[in-house]
Amino acid sequence: MKRLENLKDSGDKAFVAYIMAGDGGLDKLRGQVEYLQATGVTAIEIGIPFSDPVADGPVIEEAGNRALAEGVTLNKVLLEMKNWDFDLKIPLIVMTYLNPVIRYGAERFAESCREAGVSAVIIPDLPFEHQQLVEPYLKKTGITLIQLVTLTTTENRLEDILGAAEGFVYAVTVTGITGVRDELTQEVKEFMKTVRSKSPVPVYAGFGISRLEHIELLREDVDGFIVGSAIVKAFHDNKIENIEPLIHAVTQRNPV
Amino acid sequence: MTKVKICGLQELEHVRAASTADAAGFVFAPSRRRISIEQAAALAAELPESVEKIGVFVNAGLDEVLEAVQKVPLSMVQLHGDETDDFIRSIPVKVVQAFSVRDIEDVKKLERSIADFVLVDAPGIDFRGGSGRTFDWSLLGGASIDPERLIVAGGLDAVNVGQAINSLAPYMVDVSSGVETEGNKDADKIKIFIKTVKGDSMQQTTGTVKETGFFGRFGGQFVPETLMKAVKELEAAYTEAKDDADFQADYHKYLKEYVGREQPLTYAARLTEAWGGPKVYLKREDLNHTGAHKINNAIGQALLAIRMGKRKIVAETGAGQHGVATATICALLDLECVVFMGEEDIRRQQLNVFRMKLLGAKVESVTKGSATLKDAVNEALRYWVTNVEDTHYLIGSALGPHPFPTMVRDFQSVIGRETREQILDKEGRLPDVILACVGGGSNAIGMFHPFVEDESVRLIGVEAAGEGVDTARHAATLTKGTEGVLHGAYMKLLQDENGQVQEAHSISAGLDYPGVGPEHVHLEDIGRVEYKAVTDEEALASVIKLSRLEGIIPALESAHAVAEAEKTAAAMGSDEILIICVSGRGDKDMATYAEKLEGLA
Ligand SMILES: Cc1ncc(COP(=O)(O)O)c(C=O)c1O
């Protein structure tokens, strides 16, 4: 995760790609990660499917349902990752809802994440006040729990959350759920400026980022972008190469 | 924290009781606790993934051990014989090597073990000293064994385990006969042992349980960050409104003038006679405007929303009763109303869908998942996340993130408060038993809350057993569920071993939910309220009984409470008093009744 802070210092922007583990079968995951790494993404967020993903829009929910239908579980994903022997140069982040973690056991989850080479974890329905449920175990194994801030996060709360942030902070660009969006509001730009001025770690914008215009709008106010639904959809449609311009628009300072 | 292993499991009931332990032991060595690989596989399938499955062997062949590892499957192997280091190395999972420690020579052997863990088996130890054999712990004190590798077994029970942990701080404690009664495992003893060692499982999280919002260790505010502001604002607004005389006066005015409260506590003479036991009284929530208790809560929350400056309401509904109550109150108070309802429920409850539309609400069909209440809540939450600045989520039961469970309970407590006054008035004393059905748990908590401090009053919540609690088709969350987080609260859930929430099933759409309000889970946990489950069939039979004996056609949900009341009454005397909460009337269920009870003579 230290690497992400170095990236920030160098002025380059980060691109974090989200994929749903096991959409199309768990044996696809490895290839997807290798592909994204080769395309030049900064980090990869690996989503664990859940029966009730209330923070997600239809694209990710449907991908999750397809993965569940394939029998994908948290345990299987972590085991799969543990067995990878290719050269992995970028951080892997696990994104999961809280319930599978509780059922698996928070302590064991932290341990298995470590064995699987996971650098950070995102749990969207684990708010700041309840993080003691999981965070101490992650800390013990050297894994970062990523903090989320949103347009509705109040000022005092923002200070508290940013005070605890490590790795990067996930700044949610919409008041809503994940999904492909047409437009982002000007309000978002102001929000990103505020967060960035207060954050001790890089600020990455996520939720709804799917177009070059979104990147252009926020480029100067954030340290990176997290793209989910657009990638999940592209993989599902077998058109992942269509995403490359979006990735390069972020990672290559002067895209050709 | 020290881990717990329950060893020598043979029956499903005990395996379930052990599901909150860290490890379960299956004995393959000759012993009265011996089971076959097939039996162990069937039992292991009932355990969450987080529980280690340990096979116990004494000088078995490698083939047998490997077969068990693969077929059960086992995550660890425990060896009690004279197995060699090569044997240990050939086992593909973690190995526990057991030693009987009597003297310093035994300690030396134990120190040389190459196994991942060493288990000290000290049969006949008496930690309290006095009678029996006392084990010389100082032998181990000098041993160079990493406590992180140490498992302690032999003679442990809930009474002495604390001392064993204090003196040795082992990685794990292993119990078998200490959780048995007359040579058989005892589910209650297993649970008590686990609790004794682990304390509250959420105690590990002290500090998260900040201030309010938890009932014991259940509840909380497990929502995405986008909703935290709304949840906190609601908490503040409700705290303030609760103590505001004007707000309370307004709320009670609507209950009286619009809903038609107070509702009678009707003496059920013919039911009393038919059951031949206690005097039976019925609390008549069926007489409320819109036909159920749901309106008590809808009015309270709608008034609060207006107070907060929100004029848009989103709600979920299962049976449609809460949707109708919400649509009704939105019409009355001129609020915009969107109701999410599962496609399957829309089909089952046509009449209520039409009522909502007639009242001016927008009914959104949810086709995802099981297309029932759980999925409707998911969609309502997503809608709320997206429109949180001007919309109030008017949740229909004592569920969701804090402050919803408390607030809904308070708005429904009018049921219990009235009942208490009425029974004191009629009988001059408190009742002996009160029953209410439990879906999310709002009518039950509203009825129970004013009686919780009265220890003489037995409180019974009745869940839906659907086609039977031992089938896959039921909604008996308290009876069969396990702890987890859904829709904002830490509670009990119907879920699989991977934490995926399962579908609930009940003939009654209003009980068809795979979770249950956190306060109920707490009341069960501390043993204050009993929870029973009643099948579809039993509920239908009670519909007929109440209709014919008292001229009251109950809602299917309420009929569950009636069915359990009949069983409870059978063991009660004529000088006792039993009260049933009739949470709603049966109009909405008439199509189901016509279909299921067709040919009724
Ligand atoms: C008449 C009636 N009773 C009971 C319930 C169950 O809800 P709760 O457990 O919140 O009281 C419902 C739900 O729709 C209902 O309509």
Q: What is the DSSP string of B274-290?
A: HHTSSEEEEEEGGGSTT
B510 lines ligand 1 (CB under 6 A): yes
* pLDDT at B124 (0 to 100): 46
* pLDDT at B601 (0 to 100): 55
Higher pLDDT, B566 or A255: B566
* pLDDT at B25 (0 to 100): 96
B461 lines ligand 1 (CB under 6 A): no
- Please give the DSSP secondary-structure letter assigned to residue B22: S
**Angle at alpha carbon of residue B320, lines to B316 and B326, rounded to 5°:** 60
Per-residue pLDDT, averaged over A57-80, amounts to 96
| Catalytic member of A9, A12, A34, A45 | A45
Q: Any chain A CB within 8 A of the CB of B487?
A: yes
- Calculate the alpha carbon distances from B348 to A95, B315, B326, B345, B368 in Å: 37, 18, 19, 5, 16
B399 lines ligand 1 (CB under 6 A): no
Q: Which amino acid is it at B240?
A: E
Fold of the domain built from segment(s) A2-251: TIM Barrel (3.20.20)
Length of chain B: 601
Alpha-carbon span B369 to B436, nearest angstrom: 29
Shortest CA distance from B493: residue in chain A: A99
- Domain regions of chain A by residue span: 2-251
Interface of B with A in 114-153 (CB under 8 A): none
Q: Any chain A CB within 8 A of the CB of B500?
A: yes
Distance A146 CA to ligand 1 centre (A): 39
Using a CB-CB distance cutoff of 8 angstroms, which residues of chain B are in contact with residue A150? Answer: 224-226
Mutation for A interface: B3, B491, B498, most A CBs within 10 A: B498
Distance B514 CA to ligand 1 centre (A): 14
* pLDDT at B127 (0 to 100): 39
> Would you tell me how many other CB atoms lie within 10 Å of the CB of residue A254?
4
Question: Parallel, antiparallel, or unpaired for β A92-95 and A43-47?
Answer: parallel
Per-residue pLDDT, averaged over A22-30, amounts to 96
Asked if the Cβ–Cβ distance from A152 to B388 is below 8 Å, we say yes
Asked if the Cβ–Cβ distance from B385 to A176 is below 8 Å, we say yes
Alpha-carbon span A4 to A90, nearest angstrom: 10
- Nearest protein Cα to ligand 1, atom 1: B584
B356 lines ligand 1 (CB under 6 A): no
Summarised one tens digit per residue, pLDDT across range B218-257 is 999 999 998 998 899 999 999 999 999 999 999 999 999 9
Tell me which of B263, B285, B294, B448 to substitute to probe ligand 1's pocket, judged by most ligand atoms within 8 Å of the beta carbon.
B294
Beta bridge partners of B341: B317, B365
Distance B395 CA to ligand 1 centre (A): 12
Interface of B with A in 383-402 (CB under 8 A): 385-386, 388-389
Report the percentage of chain B scoring pLDDT > 90. 74
Largest CA distance in chain A: 48
B268 lines ligand 1 (CB under 6 A): no
pLDDT band at A256 (very low <50, low <70, confident <90, very high): very low
How far is the alpha carbon of A39 from chain B, nearest alpha carbon, in Å? 31
Helices (H) and strands (E) in chain A, counts: 12, 9
Alpha-carbon span B495 to B208, nearest angstrom: 24
B405 lines ligand 1 (CB under 6 A): no
pLDDT band at B167 (very low <50, low <70, confident <90, very high): confident
* pLDDT at B562 (0 to 100): 98
Beta bridge partners of B3: B172
Mutation for A interface: B4, B52, B93, B225, most A CBs within 10 A: B225
Q: Any chain A CB within 8 A of the CB of B49?
A: yes
In the residue annotation, B492 being an active-site residue is answered as no
* pLDDT at B122 (0 to 100): 66
Q: If DSSP codes are grouped into helix, strand and coil, which group holds residue A18?
A: strand
| The pLDDT of residue A1 is above 90 | no
Using a CB-CB distance cutoff of 8 angstroms, which residues of chain A are in contact with residue B500? Answer: 50-51, 68, 73, 100
Residue with structure tokens 């499982």? B201
Summarised one tens digit per residue, pLDDT across range A179-220 is 777 777 788 999 999 999 999 999 999 988 989 999 999 999
* pLDDT at B202 (0 to 100): 38
Using a CB-CB distance cutoff of 8 angstroms, which residues of chain B are in contact with residue A51? Answer: 369, 500-502
Alpha-carbon span B363 to B316, nearest angstrom: 10
Residues 6+ apart with CB under 8 A from A165: A146, A147, A199, A200, A201
| The pLDDT of residue B553 is above 90 | yes
Alpha-carbon span B314 to B327, nearest angstrom: 10
In the residue annotation, A85 being an active-site residue is answered as no
Give per-residue burial for A61-83: e unless 16+ CB within 10 Å, then b: bbbbbbbbebebbbbbbbebbee
Report the percentage of chain A scoring pLDDT > 90. 82
Using a CB-CB distance cutoff of 8 angstroms, which residues of chain A are in contact with residue B488? Answer: 125
Alpha-carbon span B167 to B147, nearest angstrom: 11
Beta bridge partners of A203: A169
* pLDDT at A12 (0 to 100): 87
* pLDDT at B135 (0 to 100): 55
The count of CB pairs under 8 A between chains A and B is 132
Q: If DSSP codes are grouped into helix, strand and coil, which group holds residue B228?
A: helix
Q: Any chain A CB within 8 A of the CB of B20?
A: no
B586 lines ligand 1 (CB under 6 A): no
Query: Do residues B228 and A157 make contact, with C-beta atoms less than 8 angstroms apart?
Result: yes
* pLDDT at B129 (0 to 100): 30
HSE toward the beta carbon, residue B219, CA cutoff 13 A: 21
Q: What is the DSSP string of B42-84?
A: HHHTTS-TTSEEEEEESS--HHHHHHHHHHTT-SEEEE-S---
B321 lines ligand 1 (CB under 6 A): yes
Query: Do residues A77 and A84 make contact, with C-beta atoms less than 8 angstroms apart?
Result: no
Residue A235: which of A60, A83, A7 has the closest Cα?
A60
| The pLDDT of residue B125 is above 60 | no
| The pLDDT of residue B559 is above 90 | yes
Q: Which domains does chain B have, with CATH numbers?
A: 1-196 (3.20.20.70), 224-257+287-401 (3.40.50.1100), 263-286+412-595 (3.40.50.1100)
pTM: 0.78
Length of chain A: 256
Residue B232 burial class via C-beta count within 10 angstroms: exposed 0-12, middle 13-18, buried 19 and up: middle
Residue with structure tokens 């892997």? A92
B190 lines ligand 1 (CB under 6 A): no
Distance B511 CA to ligand 1 centre (A): 7
Lookup: tokens for A188 = 């978002």
| The pLDDT of residue B212 is above 70 | no
Summarised one tens digit per residue, pLDDT across range B143-156 is 677 888 999 887 78
Give me the interface pTM, i.e. the ipTM.
Answer: 0.94
Per-residue pLDDT, averaged over B256-268, amounts to 98
Summarised one tens digit per residue, pLDDT across range B415-450 is 999 999 999 999 999 999 999 999 999 999 999 999
How far is the alpha carbon of B492 from chain A, nearest alpha carbon, in Å? 11
Residue A98 burial class via C-beta count within 10 angstroms: exposed 0-12, middle 13-18, buried 19 and up: buried
Report the percentage of chain B scoring pLDDT > 70. 94
Shortest CA distance from A76: residue in chain B: B498
* pLDDT at B215 (0 to 100): 93
Residue with structure tokens 């009739």? B582
Alpha-carbon span A163 to A236, nearest angstrom: 38
Interface of A with B in 24-83 (CB under 8 A): 50-52, 54-55, 57, 61, 68, 73-75
Shortest CA distance from B386: residue in chain A: A176
**Angle at alpha carbon of residue A237, lines to A231 and A239, rounded to 5°:** 70
How far is the alpha carbon of A248 from chain B, nearest alpha carbon, in Å? 30
Report CA Rg, chain A: 17
Shortest CA distance from A135: residue in chain B: B205
Q: Which amino acid is it at B357?
A: K
B558 lines ligand 1 (CB under 6 A): yes
Asked if the Cβ–Cβ distance from A133 to B205 is below 8 Å, we say yes
Shortest CA distance from A57: residue in chain B: B382
B583 lines ligand 1 (CB under 6 A): yes
Residue A186 burial class via C-beta count within 10 angstroms: exposed 0-12, middle 13-18, buried 19 and up: exposed
Largest CA distance in chain B: 85
- Which stretch of DSSP H or E encloses residue B150? strand B150-153
Q: Any chain A CB within 8 A of the CB of B220?
A: yes
Long-range contacts of B135-144 (CB under 8 A, 24+ apart): B135/B101, B137/B167, B137/B168, B139/B101, B139/B103, B139/B104, B139/B106, B139/B107, B140/B101, B140/B107, B140/B168, B142/B107, B143/B107, B143/B110, B143/B111, B144/B111
Distance A24 CA to ligand 1 centre (A): 40
Summarised one tens digit per residue, pLDDT across range A116-131 is 999 999 999 999 989 9
pLDDT band at A7 (very low <50, low <70, confident <90, very high): confident
Alpha-carbon span A192 to A215, nearest angstrom: 13
Asked if the Cβ–Cβ distance from A52 to B495 is below 8 Å, we say no
Residue B426: which of B418, B434, B435, B414 has the closest Cα?
B418
Alpha-carbon span B6 to B356, nearest angstrom: 53
Q: Any chain B CB within 8 A of the CB of A112?
A: no
* pLDDT at A139 (0 to 100): 94
**Angle at alpha carbon of residue B75, lines to B73 and B76, rounded to 5°:** 120
Q: If DSSP codes are grouped into helix, strand and coil, which group holds residue B15?
A: helix
Summarised one tens digit per residue, pLDDT across range B310-321 is 999 999 999 899
Q: Any chain B CB within 8 A of the CB of A139?
A: no
Summarised one tens digit per residue, pLDDT across range B24-62 is 999 999 888 999 999 999 999 989 888 999 999 999 999
Backbone angles phi, psi at B368, to 5 degrees: -80, 160
Summarised one tens digit per residue, pLDDT across range B470-498 is 999 999 999 999 999 999 999 999 999 99
Alpha-carbon span B49 to B25, nearest angstrom: 14
Alpha-carbon span A232 to B275, nearest angstrom: 61
* pLDDT at A137 (0 to 100): 95
Ligand 1 atom closest to Cα of residue B396: 10
pLDDT band at B204 (very low <50, low <70, confident <90, very high): very low
- Please give the DSSP secondary-structure letter assigned to residue B127: T
Asked if the Cβ–Cβ distance from A175 to B389 is below 8 Å, we say yes
- Calculate the alpha carbon distances from A89 to A44, B153, B322 in Å: 11, 45, 53
Backbone angles phi, psi at A15, to 5 degrees: -125, 115
Backbone angles phi, psi at B456, to 5 degrees: -75, -15
> Would you tell me how many other CB atoms lie within 10 Å of the CB of residue B528?
15
Q: Indicate the average pLDDT of chain B.
A: 90
Asked if the Cβ–Cβ distance from A103 to B220 is below 8 Å, we say no
